[in-house]
Structure 1
Amino acid sequence: MFSFLRRTANVVGESSMKALKMEGIQGWQKELPMFKLNTPKDLQEWAIGCDKDIGGTNINNSSLFMLTCHALIFMIVANNLGTGFSEAKLEITPEGVGKFSGNLSLELPSNAEIEQSGYAAIRSKVRPSSMFGTPCWDTTLFRYLAMRVRGDDRRYFVNIQTDGVIQTDLYQHRLFLQNAGQWQTVMIPFRDFVLTNNGMIQEDQIDMMREKVKTVGISIADREEGPFEIEIDWIKAMNTESTEGDMDRNPHGADVPEVDFTK
C-alpha cells in the first residue's frame, strides 16, 4: 500500500513539474526517449520468454502460427502449458548494448496437441500503477517508433500493447533490417502497425491508442531452426524534420519529401 501511495505521489509531482515547465504546450519535438538497453539495470525493465517457457502452439497455419507466437509473450508468467526446446536470453554486451539471442528449435514436445514450435520474444514490463492508472507513453506528437539495432538476417517483429479495454490486442509490424550485421536506425510509422488479437489479424483495424502505449517488444518466429541474435541500443518515439506526429511540417520553406524508412 505504501509503495502504491508513493507512486501516486510521484505521478502528482511529475505532473506538477510538467505544468510549471508548460510542457503540455511546447512546440515541435524531435524525439521521446522510451527505453535504453545499456546496463543490467535497464534489462530489469524487460521480460523474456520462448516456447521452452510456454509450450508451443496448436495452430498449424504458418502465418497464424507466427502471429500467435508474437502474442504469447504476454502469457509467460501465467501459463505453464508444457515445454518446447528453443532457448533465449537478454544480456548486456561488452560494448554496453542489449543483446536478445538464442536458438530456435522446431522440435515438438511429447504432446499430441502441439503441432508447431519455435519462437522467442522480449517485452518491456508494465510499469507499476498508481491511483491514476498504469503509466503509459504518450506518442501522439510523434510519427515513428524508432530503434537503433544490429541484427542477423532472421525475421523479427515489433509488438506494441496499449492500455486499451481489450488487453489481448497487440499491434505488430515486421522489423525490416537493411544490412545484417550493421548498426541501423529503423523507423516504423505508428499508423502502419496492424491490430491483432490472440494472433489473429483483426478485420476491423482500430487506430492505435498512441497516447496509451503500455509495452513494446521484439519477437521471432520465422519457422527456421538455428541461432538468432539482435542487439538493441535504444527505442524512441521520433519525428523527422518534416513530420509532427501525423501532420507534415515544412521547416525550411520548401517541400520536403517524406522518407519511407520501412523499405
Structure 2
Amino acid sequence: MFSLIRRTAVEVAESSLKALNMDGLRGWQKEMPMAALKTEKDLSQWVVGCDKDIGGFSTASLEITPEGVGKFYGEISLELPANREIKQSGYAAMRTKPKDQTMFGTPCWDTSLFRYLTLHVKGDKRKYFVNIQTDGVVKTDLFQHRLFLRTPGQWETVMIPFKDFILTNNGMIQEDQIEMFRQKVKTVGISLMDRQEGPFEIQVEWIKSMNTEFTEGDMDRIPPKEEVKETY
C-alpha cells in the first residue's frame, strides 16, 4: 500500500511539473524517448518470452553487449510439445514492462503528438514485427507492423507511422479495425514468428516517438516561407 502511495505521489509530482512547464502548450516536439537498451538498469525494464514458456523448444534471451546495446537472440524451433492442445509453435518476443500502477491507473506514453514510432536497430534477415500495446479493454490486443530492415547486419533507424499499425489478437489480424489509442501506449516490443527454424539476432539501442521537421503528429507542418529581400 505504501509503495502504491509513493508511486502515486511521484506521478502527481511529475504531472505538476509538466503543468508548470506548460508541456501541453509547447506544441511541436522532435522526439519523445520511450525505451532504451544501453545499461543493465535498462535491461530490467524488459521481459522476454518464447514458445518454451508453453512447452515448446525455442529459446530467447536479452542481454547488454560489451558495446552497450541490447541483443535479443536465440533459436526458433517449430517442434510441437507433447501437449496436444498446442497446435502451433515457433515464436519469440521481447517487450517493455508496463509501468507500475498508481491510484490513477497505469502510467502510459502519450504518442498522439508524434507521427512515427522509431527504432534504432541492427538485425538479420528474419521477418520481425514491432508491437504496441495500449491501455485498452482487451488485454490481448496488439497493434503490429513489420520491421522492414533495408540493411541487415548494419545499424539503421526505422521510422513507422503510427497510423500504419494493424490491430491483431493472438497473432490474427482483426476484421474490425479500430484506431489506436495513442494517448495510452502501455508497452512496445519486437517479436519473431516467421515460421522459420534456426538462430536469430537483433540488436536494439532505443525506441522513440518522433516527428520530422515537417510533421506534427498526423498533421503536416508547412515550413515557413523564406523572407524575400528586395534590392533597390
Q: Same fold (TM over 0.5)?
A: yes
Pick one of 108, 131, 149 that aligns with 1:177: 149
2:229 equivalent in structure 1: none
**Deviations 1:184-227 (CA, angstroms, capped at 9, x unpaired):** 00000000000112332112211000000000110001111111
Is 1:10 the equivalent of 2:10? Answer: yes
Larger fraction in strand: 2
Distance 1:218 1:119 in 2: 11
2:179 equivalent in structure 1: 207
Distance 2:198 2:130 in 1: 20
1:104 equivalent in structure 2: 76
Deviation at 1:231, TM superposition (A): 0.2
Instruction: Pick the structure with greater CA Rg.
Output: 2
Distance 1:158 1:253 in 2: 37
Amino acid at match of 2:17: M
After superposition, residues 168-247 of structure 1 pair within 5 angstroms as 168-247=140-219
2:38 equivalent in structure 1: 38
Distance 2:15 2:107 in 1: 12
Cα distance change, pair 113–165 in 1 and its aligned pair in 2 (3 A): closer
Gaps of 5+ in 2: 227-232
After superposition, residues 93-172 of structure 1 pair within 5 angstroms as 93-172=65-144
Is 1:23 the equivalent of 2:17? Answer: no
Amino acid at match of 1:8: T
Cα distance change, pair 192–116 in 1 and its aligned pair in 2 (3 A): same
**Corresponding residue SS for 2:167:** strand
Amino acid at match of 1:124: T
Distance 1:112 1:15 in 2: 50
Superposed CA RMSD in Å reads 1.1
Deviation at 1:252, TM superposition (A): 4.3
Deviation at 1:123, TM superposition (A): 1.0
Amino acid at match of 1:211: Q
1:90 equivalent in structure 2: 62
Return 143-152 or 17-26, whichever deviates more: 17-26
Amino acid at match of 1:38: K
Amino acid at match of 2:190: I
Deviation at 1:27, TM superposition (A): 2.2
**Deviations 1:172-194 (CA, angstroms, capped at 9, x unpaired):** 00000001000000000000000
**Corresponding residue SS for 1:232:** strand
Q: Which runs of 4+ in 1 moved over 4 A?
A: none
**Corresponding residue SS for 1:142:** coil
Amino acid at match of 1:52: K
Distance 2:166 2:218 in 1: 17
Deviation at 1:122, TM superposition (A): 0.4
TM-score, scaled to structure 2: 0.94
Cα distance change, pair 204–115 in 1 and its aligned pair in 2 (3 A): closer
Deviation at 1:253, TM superposition (A): 3.2
Distance 1:129 1:112 in 2: 37
Distance 2:135 2:85 in 1: 32
Identity of aligned residues (%): 71
TM-score, scaled to structure 1: 0.84
